[in-house]
Every structure is written in C-alpha cells, then in structure tokens.
Amino acid sequence: MHRRMTMPLAVLLLCARNDVRSILAEAMLRDRSRGRVVAHSAAAIAADGVHPLVLETLARRGHATGGLRSEGLEAFTGPDAPSLDAIVTLGEDIEAPAGLPGAPVTAVWPLPDPAIDPAVAPGPDATRAAFARSYDALSVRIDALLALPLETIDAPALRARLREIGRSGGASA
C-alpha cells in the first residue's frame, strides 16, 4: 500500500533564486488552497529580496504580500525543517535535492523567469506583461493542483499528476 499524503499538503516551490516564480506560486497556492496546502518557497541560493514586480503583480491580483521573502534551501534541510509532501521546481535550472524531510515527491513545472528571460523586450511595459504571463501560467497549474483529490491521493498518484501538470502546463491535467 502506498503512503497517503498528509493534510494539509506541504509543498515546496523551488527556483534558482527564489525572487520571482517561486514567490508568485507560493502566494497563489497559499491564498487559493483554503488551508488544504501549506506553501513554501526556496532557492539553491536565496536572492537579496523579492522582485518588486512580483509584489506589484500579486497586489494587482488581490494577493496579500506581507511575509513573502526569499529563502535559501537550508531552511528545509536541518532538524527543525518542516516535513514536505511535494517539491515542485519551477525551472529546469535546478533539481530537487534528495533527502529532505518527509520523502517528498518531485516534479518540474518549467517556466521562464520573466526577470531574466531574453525573449522579453526591454522596457517596463514589456517586463510587466511578462510577469503577468508568468502569473497566468502558474495560475493554471495551481488550479490544476488544487483540483486534485488531495485528501485521498497517495504519493505515486500525486507525483504522476504533478508531473502531468508540468508537461501540460495544467491545461489538461
């Protein structure tokens, strides 16, 4: 028999710097989950702070931004680290580390970083539009995650569904 996930589900959203995508996803998941998910975010190397356009994008969409901060992965590796059920990396530039508390399942949801994406035209309007597109792409994926039967899903099924969401962008998951 496979292990059932704990409730609320503890999800770590992981990026290379933890200042844009993972912060967007953390805030969205926190606000939309209605207590079914505890969202965390981290990076291999924490950024100096949250990107100002993340805070602006979240505020424009009605999210509270208090308490959001860039955190390093070390916060999830020590004896006082929270137990995790899932790790979702939001780029292909970082891998989920092995051995974190809780034996979390892992998945990749590839998404370009709008702050450094060379495909984004220079200028404040284009950059704001790129942040909005990232928010929208994450929104579809977060909604697909929250549509899962989190109260009854087991670890292999959660892993498969999270990976499917990453491959499909959440559209058909």
Domains of the chain: 9-168 (3.40.50.2300)
Question: What local confidence, expressed as pLDDT, does residue 18 receive?
Answer: 86
The stretch 44-61 carries a mean pLDDT of 93
pLDDT tens digits, 154-166: 999 999 999 999 9
CB 78 within 8 A of CB 51: no
pLDDT-based confidence at residue 171 (cuts at 50, 70, 90): low
The stretch 139-144 carries a mean pLDDT of 97
Question: What local confidence, expressed as pLDDT, does residue 173 receive?
Answer: 52
Q: Identify which of 156, 51, 36, 169 has the alpha carbon closest to the alpha carbon of residue 108.
A: 169
24 pLDDT more than 80: yes
84 pLDDT more than 90: yes
What is the pLDDT of the chain when averaged over all its residues? Answer: 90
pLDDT tens digits, 100-113: 888 899 999 999 99
Residue 35, judged by CB atoms within 10 A of its CB (0-12, 13-18, 19+), counts as exposed
pTM of the full predicted structure? 0.92
